Chains A and B, each alone.
Chain A
Amino acid sequence: MKFNKKAEFDFVLIFAIVAGVMILLLAIYGAVKAGTSIQTQNQAELAKSIEIITDPMQAGVAEASTARIDIKQNVTISNECSIADGFGVNRIAVEVPIPKGIQDQMPAAPIQIPIRNKYIFSDSYPGKTFYVFSKPFDSPFRVADVLIMSSRNYCFINPPENIGEEIFGLQVKNIGVKNSFNNTCADDSTTVCFGLGKCDISVVGECRKAGCDSEFDYGFVKKGEEKLTYSGGLLYAAIFSDKDLYDCNVQRLLFRLSNIADLLSQKSDRMNARGCNVLLKTDMEVLKSLTQNATADSLEGLYDFSKSISIKEDREECKLW
Chain B
Amino acid sequence: MPRFLTTWSFRLTLLYAGLFTASVMLLFGVIYWSALDYAVQDETDEINVEFHAVVDEANLAGYGQLPTIIANHLRQRAGTRVAYLLEDSSGRKIVGNIDALPPREGSMAVSLKSDEKHRKLQAHFYRLPNGDFLLIGEDSFALNEMKELIARAFGTSAVITLLLAIVGGVIVSTSVLRRVESVARTSDAIIAGDLSQRVPVQGSGDEFDHLASSVNAMLDRIEDLMRSMRQVSTDIAHDLRTPLTRLRQRLELSRRQNHSVEQLHDALTESTKQVDSILETFGALLRIAQIEAGQSATLHGSIDLSSLLENIVADFVPAAEDRGQILAADIQPGLNVTADRVLMTQMVVNLLENALRHTEPCTLVTLRAADDGAGLTVSVSDTGPGIPLAERENVLRPFYRLEASRTTEGSGLGFSLVAAIAKRHGATLRLSDNTPGLRVTLQFPHLAAA
Tell whether A and B belong to one assembly: no
Residues of chain B whose beta carbon lies under 8 Å from any beta carbon of chain A: none
